[in-house]
């Protein structure tokens, strides 16, 4: 079983503070301020988002699994805004396009089902169009 994120992150914070005087509290404040600035103060970063952002900045590999609309994208975007050197690159692998196609397909199928019940002629036209 993998270690919880907090213990891995804690160990990396300690190692970074010893090796190059890393200050976790200072970095977390910078992350939170950058997040707030990016959204013009209208929203605040969740603690799990800040944890992921900090982990990425410390060089840890991360995988985030949360529901749609929970804010998964921000942890991957914010380290790029915090990086003043502009030398960092992030690769984000996301099935978003496939999920969107699946959702649209399900929506069309359900609409066609409803159309076939309430408007059979329209449903036939949609089926003919593929």
Per-residue pLDDT of the chain (130 residues; tens, 9 = 90+): 455 667 899 999 999 999 999 999 999 998 888 888 877 888 888 999 999 989 988 989 888 888 777 888 788 777 777 777 777 676 666 666 666 666 666 666 655 555 455 555 655 665 665 5
Give the pLDDT score at 5. Answer: 60
| Lookup: tokens for 44 | 């605040």
| Lookup: tokens for 106 | 């399900």
Give the pLDDT score at 44. Answer: 87
> DSSP for 6-67?
HHHHHHHHHHHHHHH---HHHHHHHHHHHHHHHTTTS----HHHHHHHHHHHTT--------
CB atoms closer than 10 angstroms to residue 74? 20
pTM: 0.63
Tell me the three state secondary structure of residue 68.
coil
Under a CB-based contact definition with an 8 Å cutoff, are residues 83 and 56 in contact?
no
Give the pLDDT score at 113. Answer: 55
Give the pLDDT score at 108. Answer: 62
Please count the residues of the chain.
130
Give the pLDDT score at 102. Answer: 67
Report the C-alpha gap between 80 and 3 in whole angstroms: 26
Report the C-alpha gap between 16 and 44 in whole angstroms: 26
């Amino acid at each position: 079983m993998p270690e919880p994120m907090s213990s891995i992150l804690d160990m990396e914070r300690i190692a970074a503070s010893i090796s190059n005087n890393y200050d976790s509290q200072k970095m977390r404040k910078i992350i939170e301020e950058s997040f707030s600035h990016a959204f013009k103060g209208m929203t605040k970063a969740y603690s799990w988002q800040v944890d992921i952002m900090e982990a990425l900045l410390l060089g840890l590999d991360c995988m985030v699994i949360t529901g749609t609309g929970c804010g998964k994208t921000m942890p991957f975007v914010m380290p790029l805004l915090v990086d003043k050197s502009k030398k960092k690159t992030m690769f984000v692998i996301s099935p978003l396009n496939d999920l969107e196609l699946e959702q649209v397909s399900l929506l069309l199928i359900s609409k066609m089902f409803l159309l076939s019940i309430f408007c059979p002629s329209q449903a036939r036209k949609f089926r003919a169009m593929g």
